[in-house]
Structure 1
Amino acid sequence: MYKPSIRRPALHVARQTPLPIRVSRPFIRHASTEVKVQRVRFKKRIFTRVTLASLCLYTAAYYTYFQMIGRQLDRLDEGEGVANPGRSPADPTLDEDDELEPIFIPLGLTKARPKTYYKGSDPEWQEFRKLAPDQKKHARMRDQLVAIVRTQIANDKRFKPRMGDINITVGAHWLDITFPDGPPTEYERSGLEIGDHIAWTARPVTELNYHRLNRALYPTAVFSSVLASSKYLVDRQTQMVKRFFNLPVSEEQQKRQYRNSVLGKPTTPTGIESGSDADSTQRSSVPPPPQVPQAPGSNPQEKNVAFPDFSPAPPKSMALSIFASTLAKNWHAFKLEPPRGTVVVSGLIEIKGSKARMTMDVNAAYDPKQDKFVMLQGAIRRIQDMSQRPKGGN
C-alpha cells in the first residue's frame, strides 16, 4: 500500500549523513612527538654605526667649542682684568654689573588687566582735590591748550592754501575739565623668561602697542575695503556677462554704473564736463603726432632708478578709488586713555583764517605735577569758507 512520506529539507538530510573522516599521515606519524615552545628575546646592539657616528660628531663639536670659543672667552676676561686692574675676579660686584637682561619670548595674546580706581589716600587724588577749586588754574589750562592747538595749525603748511593767514588770538572755544576715576587700563603679555632660570612670567605692554597688535591681527578696515572693491568688480563682470547674453540689467546696477561713469569723468567747477562734442570731433579729425621711441636711459626719470619716488600715486581705476575711500573712512586713530595722574581737557576750539575757519575736536591730558600737557589728540570737525559761492552757477 501507499505510505505517506515526510519531505525533509536537504540541509537536515546533510546533517544526518555521516561525513568521511580523513586523517593525514604526517599527523599519525608525529603523534607521539612532543612540541616544546621556547621564548627568545632579541637584544639591541649597543654600538651600532649610527651610535658611533653620533658619538664622534658630538665629541668633535664639544672639543671644537672648548678649544676655540673657550679660549676667546678667556682672552676677553683677561682683557677686562687688565682694563680694570682694581677689580679682582673674586669681586662679588663683577657678576652684578655684568648681569645680562633675561630673554623674554612672548607666547599667546595680549590681555587687559582688571580695571582699578583711585583711592582717597592716593597722591593722584590728593592732587585732584587741590586743583578742583582753583578756577584761575582752570582758565590758564584752557588758554594754554588753545594757544598750543592754534599755533600748530598756523605753522602747518598744509592748511595755508585753504585757511590763509591764521590769527591765533581770535576765535571761540568750549573746553571741559574732567577728573578721571582711575588710572588707564593696563595690558600684559605672558611668555617664557630665559635667564639664570626658565620661568613663565607676564610683562606689561603699552596701550599703543596693544592697539597696534590688535589692528595687525584683526585688520577690519582693510578687510572691509577689499570687500567693497571686490563687490564692485563682481558687479561689473556680472553686467558684462548680461550684456553679452542680452539679459536685462536691474535698475540698481544701471544707477550704480551711471554714478561710476559720472564720477570717473573730470568736471569743471560749474558742473559742466571739460570736453564738449565739438572739441572732441575737432580733436578726432587731427591725427595724433607720431611717437618717437626713446632710447633706454634717455628719460630723466629712468636715470634715477636707484632712487624711486615714494610720493603716493593717485588711483587709476574705480576699484582702487573705492578701496582707498573705504579704507580712509574706516581707518580711525587710536583713542588712548590719559596717563596716570593726569586731568582730561576736551572740547571744541575755533581757528579763524583769512579764507576759512576751522573747528577742531580736541582731547588733551594735563599733568598737575609737571604743569604741562603730556598728551594731545585732535581731529578736524568742520572747515567752512568765509565766502561761499553757489555751485549751481549764477
Structure 2
Amino acid sequence: MFRHQVLWRSFSLFRRTPTSAIVKSAAKDGHNATRIQRVRITQRFFTKSRMVGTAVVAVGAWRLFVWLDEEVEDEEEVSAQVRRVRRPPIRQDDAEDDKGGREITDEEEEELEDDEEEEEDDEGLIFLPTGFSRPRPRRFYRGSDPEWQTFIRLAPDRKRMEKIREELITTVRDLATKNAHIKMHLGKIDTTKGKVWIEVKFPDGPPLEYEQPGIELTEDLTIRKTTRPVHEMHHKRLARVLMPTGVMNSVYYDMKRRMFASWQDFKRYTGLEETRPTAQSVIKGLPLPPAVPVSPTQTPSAPNTPAAPASADTEKQVTSPLPPSPSNSALEKLGLSLPGPEQVPTMDLSYFRQIFRKYHKHMAIEPPRGTFIVSGLVEIIGDRAKMTLDVMSLYDPNVGKYVLLQARVRSITPYKQRPRGGP
C-alpha cells in the first residue's frame, strides 16, 4: 500500500493523459497522495551528426561560390580576347615609333561595348532571381552623343523654341475647352487670353535604368551570375507595394484622431474638462415650432386610410431589432468568440481618403532618352473665373511632337466671391 505508483505517460502533446485520470487511478489503487513529476529530456546541441552535416553543407556552398566566380572570370577573359581581335587595324601613319600602337577613340570603344552587349544579351534557358530590382549606376551624356548634339543645335534656335512653347500653350487650352468640368467652373473660355510662364530644361543624361540580379542557366548548361533589365514602372510599383507610405500615414492619423477623441471623452467623464454643448444638444433643447392651423375649407383626412397600415408596418420594420449574427460552434468549443459586425470599429473613410490624397505621391517618370522637359504655368481665362495650371511635358525633337503631357490645377479664382459666413 505504501509503494509508489508508477504511471508511464507518453511524451506526445496531443495524446497526453489528463491529470484527472491519473488522480482517479491513484485513488482507486488506495493511494491518498499523488505526486506528479514532469521530466524534460534534453540533448546536446553540438552532436557528432549535426557537426558533420554542417561541415558538409558549408564546404559545398563554398565550392559552389568559387566555381561561379571562376565562370565569371573566364567570361571576362574571353570578352577581353574578343575585344583585342576586333580592334581595327593600325595604320602606318598612326603607329608610334617605340610602341607601334595607337589609342582607341571613344567612338570605337563604344562600338566595341555595344557589340559585347549584343552578345551578352542572349537569353539563357532559366533565370532565377536572387533579389529585388536595383538601380544601375547613373550615366550622363557625353559631348559626342547624338542626343547632346541635338540639344546643342536646338537650344540657340529661338524660332523653333518659341514654336515649341506655343504648341504646348495651344494644346493645353484646347484640352481645357473640351473638358466639361472646367467649363462648368470657368464658363466660356477665351484661348487667346491669359498669362504664361514656360521654361525648357535639357536633362544631363538618359533615364535611370534598373536591373534584377540572378543566376542563369545557359544553353551550354553552365550556370552564371547575370542581371536582367527591369522597367522603371515595375520597380516603382513594387517599391510602393512593399512600402505603402500613403496608406501607413492615413492609418496612423486616423488612429491618432480616434485616440484623441477617446482621451477627450475620458477627461469629460472624470470631470477634468467641462462638457461643451454640441450643435445636436442645442437643437434638441429648442422648443418645437407651432402647429400649422387647418383652414375650414380643407377636409380632414380620413382616420382609416389604406396607407396607414403600410406606414405602421414600415415603422415596425425599422424599429425591429436586427437578427443575431450566426454563431460558430467550432469557435465556441475552443472558448473563442468573434465580435459582431455592429461591434467592430469602423474607419472614417472620408478622413482616410483626405489624408491619403495628401501623402500619396505620384510616380515621377524620368524623361526618355533624347527628350527634354518643357514645364511652366498656363493661365486660362473664362467668363466666370480664371484658372492656373501647372504643366509638365516631354518633347521629342526627333519626332517633332510631345510624347507626354501632365497638367495639375494650381488655383481657381472666381471673379465674384460671396461671403461664406452669410450676409
TM-score where L is the length of structure 1: 0.57
Q: Name the structure 2 match of 1:389.
A: 418
Distance 1:149 1:274 in 2: 50
1:119 is displaced (CA, Å) by 0.8
SS of the residue corresponding to residue 109 of structure 1 reads coil
Distance 2:194 2:284 in 1: 43
Which of 184-193 and 362-371 deviates more? 184-193
SS of the residue corresponding to residue 228 of structure 2 reads strand
Q: Name the structure 1 match of 2:204.
A: 181
Preserved contact between residue 338 and residue 375 of structure 1 (Cα < 8 Å): no
Which one has the largest radius of gyration? 1
SS of the residue corresponding to residue 248 of structure 1 reads coil
Q: Name the structure 1 match of 2:148.
A: 125
In the alignment, structure 1 residue 212 sits paired with structure 2 residue 237: yes
SS of the residue corresponding to residue 323 of structure 1 reads helix
The count of corresponding residues between Structure 1 and Structure 2 is: 256
Distance 1:100 1:293 in 2: 72
1:293 is displaced (CA, Å) by 8.2
Q: Name the structure 1 match of 2:111.
A: none
1:368 is displaced (CA, Å) by 0.6
Deviation sequence 1:148-186 (CA, Å, 0-9, x none):
222222222332322223233322211011111111111
Instruction: Indicate which of 349, 357, 360 corresponds to 2:389.
Output: 360
Instruction: Indicate which of 122, 129, 137 corresponds to 1:114.
Output: 137
Preserved contact between residue 187 and residue 204 of structure 1 (Cα < 8 Å): yes
In the alignment, structure 1 residue 248 sits paired with structure 2 residue 272: yes
Distance 2:289 2:258 in 1: 29
Instruction: Indicate which of 122, 139, 143 corresponds to 2:166.
Output: 143
Q: 1:169 is aligned with what amino acid?
A: T
Distance 1:239 1:291 in 2: 41
SS of the residue corresponding to residue 387 of structure 1 reads coil
1:374 is displaced (CA, Å) by 1.1
Q: Name the structure 2 match of 1:232.
A: 257
Preserved contact between residue 124 and residue 216 of structure 2 (Cα < 8 Å): no
Q: Name the structure 2 match of 1:331.
A: 360
1:292 is displaced (CA, Å) by 2.4
In the alignment, structure 1 residue 292 sits paired with structure 2 residue 292: no
Preserved contact between residue 186 and residue 386 of structure 2 (Cα < 8 Å): yes
* Cα RMSD, aligned residues only: 3.7
Distance 1:133 1:276 in 2: 76
SS of the residue corresponding to residue 211 of structure 1 reads helix
1:280 is displaced (CA, Å) by 7.8
SS of the residue corresponding to residue 362 of structure 2 reads coil
Preserved contact between residue 229 and residue 320 of structure 1 (Cα < 8 Å): no
Name the CA shift for 1:100/1:366 in 2 (closer, same or farther; >3 Å). Answer: closer
1:206 is displaced (CA, Å) by 2.3
Distance 1:160 1:209 in 2: 36
Instruction: Indicate which of 190, 203, 206 corresponds to 1:167.
Output: 190
Q: 1:168 is aligned with what amino acid?
A: T
Preserved contact between residue 232 and residue 319 of structure 1 (Cα < 8 Å): no
Distance 2:412 2:264 in 1: 40
Preserved contact between residue 187 and residue 382 of structure 2 (Cα < 8 Å): yes
Distance 1:140 1:212 in 2: 36
Q: 2:163 is aligned with what amino acid?
A: R
Name the CA shift for 1:365/1:336 in 2 (closer, same or farther; >3 Å). Answer: same
| Unmatched 5+ stretches in structure 2 | 1-121, 293-310, 318-345
Q: Name the structure 1 match of 2:380.
A: 351
Preserved contact between residue 228 and residue 322 of structure 1 (Cα < 8 Å): no
Preserved contact between residue 345 and residue 366 of structure 1 (Cα < 8 Å): yes
1:122 is displaced (CA, Å) by 0.4
1:279 is displaced (CA, Å) by 6.5
| Unmatched 5+ stretches in structure 1 | 1-98, 266-272, 284-288, 296-316
SS of the residue corresponding to residue 188 of structure 1 reads strand
Identity %: 38
TM-score where L is the length of structure 2: 0.53
